[in-house]
Amino acid sequence: MSETVRGKIDPGLDLEAEIVRLKKERNAVLLAHYYQEGDIQDLADFLGDSLQLAQQAKKTTADVILFAGVHFMAETAKILNPDRIVVVPDLEAGCSLADGCPVDRFRAWRAKYPDAVSITYINCTAEVKAESDYICTSSNAEKIVRAIPEDKEILFAPDKNLGRWLEQKTGRKMRLWQGSCVVHETFSLRKIIALREEHPTAKLIAHPECEEALLRMAAFIGSTTALLKYTQTDDAQAYIVATESGIVHQMRKASPHKTFLEGPPEKNCACNECPFMRLNTMEKVYLALRDLEPRIEMPLDLRERARVPIDRMLALS
């Protein structure tokens, strides 16, 4: 819902101060993903990747959880905190991976392999989570794959690139759902090669959602948090970052003496920014706290079924 529909905002309003005030007034916690715009990251009570945010959502004692990320992340927070109010800045902030794995098709896929164990990337809907055996994130996916007995077949959805990378890391052959992230599949191999020629000392680091040809070139592959930590501890002075560009804000804050180059997309566009994550704005964060809308709600049965594979994930993490 637009700001116009939900109420006009005084252009002279100090949004940062108002958000801080409303958080205290509502006993609210602001959870933000690394892919949010920098202003939102800087206001967050807790900042992280999908695993960290799921863990924090389970621990919170706030009455209100404002989740600045995408829809499936806020759903996870509601599943883990059914008695708390969970609000988002924009209900339309979805995910191409979740959209590409509808529950009816996922259920039919599972039915073809009734004895297989399904590990589903957290980038999926609550309905798909409820049909899964385990949820994983890019931070813990390898650990969860390795926890499955060798004699069990694994179904991995919905990201084929992450799944293929896990096959290489673990040696486990899996049946992969053919989905991909709209951001991570758009990085240009040609332009990255050219960027490396311009900056020969820069290391290419990449998220495992990137395509296989790019991952083969990377000096380091890891989750968003792992990429951030790597740039803090590694001795290189320059990096080409092949993941959503929001994380570069934290990299520059943590290592201001280093150079960070955003991985270029094939087209001349801002395609290295997630169009869903960037639907969230400071104005929408303010309105969500002011109005406690839009809220994340789901039926009790769905929450309870979706919680089982999430709790299995958290127990292993």
Q: What is the DSSP string of 65-115?
A: EEEES-HHHHHHHHHH-TTSEEE-S-TT---HHHHTS-HHHHHHHHHTSTT
What percent of the chain has a predicted confidence (pLDDT) above 90? 86
User: b/e per residue, 207-240, with b = 16+ CB within 10 A?
Assistant: bbbbbeebbeebeebbbbbbbbebbeeeeeeebb
Per the annotation, does 123 bind a ligand? yes
Q: How confident is the model at residue 266, as a pLDDT? A: 79
Q: How confident is the model at residue 258, as a pLDDT? A: 98
Q: How confident is the model at residue 283, as a pLDDT? A: 97
Collapsing DSSP to helix, strand or coil, 117 comes out as strand
Per the annotation, does 140 bind a ligand? no
Per the annotation, does 124 bind a ligand? no
Per the annotation, does 95 bind a ligand? yes
Per the annotation, does 269 bind a ligand? no
Distance CA 82, CA 65 (A): 11
Distance CA 95, CA 295 (A): 18
Q: How confident is the model at residue 269, as a pLDDT? A: 65
Per the annotation, does 50 bind a ligand? yes
Query: Is the pLDDT at 197 greater than 80, yes or no?
Result: yes
Q: How confident is the model at residue 3, as a pLDDT? A: 43
Per the annotation, does 207 bind a ligand? yes
Per the annotation, does 309 bind a ligand? no
Distances (CA, A) of 206 to 84, 218, 259, 270: 36, 6, 16, 18
Q: What is the tens place of the pLDDT at every residue in 24-77?
A: 999 999 999 999 999 999 999 999 988 799 889 889 889 999 999 999 999 999
Question: Using 50, 70 and 90 to split pLDDT, how confident is the model at 125?
Answer: very high
Mean pLDDT across 170-188: 94
Kindly report whether the global pTM for this prediction surpasses the value 0.85: yes
Q: How confident is the model at residue 265, as a pLDDT? A: 85
Least confident of 65-74, 156-165, 244-253, 271-280: 271-280
Q: How confident is the model at residue 5, as a pLDDT? A: 41
